Amino acid sequence: MALREILTYPNPILRQNAEPVTDFDESLRKLVNDMAETMYDAPGVGLAANQIGVVQQIVVIDASEEKNDLMALINPEILSGEGSQVDEEGCLSVVGLSAKVKRFNKIKVKAFDVEGKEIEFEAEEWFARVVQHEVDHLKGTLFIDHLSSLKRSLYKKKRKKQLKEEQAAKNDKQDK
C-alpha cells in the first residue's frame, strides 16, 4: 500500500469525466487499497480516483464514526433520489472551504465491488451526502459547483492568493 498525493483545485484533472473500469484485476485492488490508505490518512470520509490523478470511476467511502466500514464503489451510478437535505460539506481537493450544500436525502445506488460483483443499495442522510459528493467527482464536479456563483468566485480568488503565497514561500526558501 502507498499514500498517493491528493490533487487540489484548480488542478484540471479534477474536472475530467472518469472512464468506467473494465478490468477487475489485481491492479484495481491495489489502487483501491492505496485510495483507502490515502483517505484514512488525510483524514477524509471519501475519496474519488480523479483526486489522486486516476481518471477512472472508482470511489472509496467510510462514513462510519469508528472508521471501520470501508466501501469501494466501482462505476457507481445514482439511480434515483428523493427528498432533500442541506448540510456543511468540505473536500480534500478544495482546500480551506466548507459550505452548506443541498443534496438528495435518500438515494438508490448501483455499483460494482472490487471483485466485479454488481451491488445495489439505498443510502440516507449523511451517507447519501457522501456518496453524492463522490459520484460528482467522477463527473468532474466539485461541491463548489453547487454554490452560488458569487461564493464560487470568492473562493477562486482566495485560492489563487493562497497558491501565490505558497509559491512565494517556496521561492523564499530556495533563495536562502
Task: Write out the residues near Ni ion by the rule CB under 5 A.
Answer: 91
Is 37 part of the annotated catalytic residue set?
Answer: no
CA distance from start to end of the chain:
36
CB of 145 to Ni ion, least distance (A): 11
Taking phi first (over 0 means left), then psi (-120 to 50 degrees means alpha), and beta for anything else, what does residue 114 get? alpha
CB of 91 to Ni ion, least distance (A): 3
The type of residue at 156 is K
| Dist CA 113 CA 72 (whole Å) | 6
Which cell numbers in the block locate residue 65? 464514526
- Between 28 and 61, CB nearer to Ni ion: 61
- Between 100 and 117, CB nearer to Ni ion: 100
**3-state DSSP assignment of residue 148:** coil
Which cell numbers in the block locate residue 13? 484533472
**3-state DSSP assignment of residue 121:** strand
Taking phi first (over 0 means left), then psi (-120 to 50 degrees means alpha), and beta for anything else, what does residue 116 get? left
**Catalytic residue, candidates 26, 134, 165, 166:** 134
Q: Using the Cα atoms of residue 134, residue 140, residue 144 and residue 145 in order, give the sign of their dihedral.
A: negative
What residues are labeled active site?
134
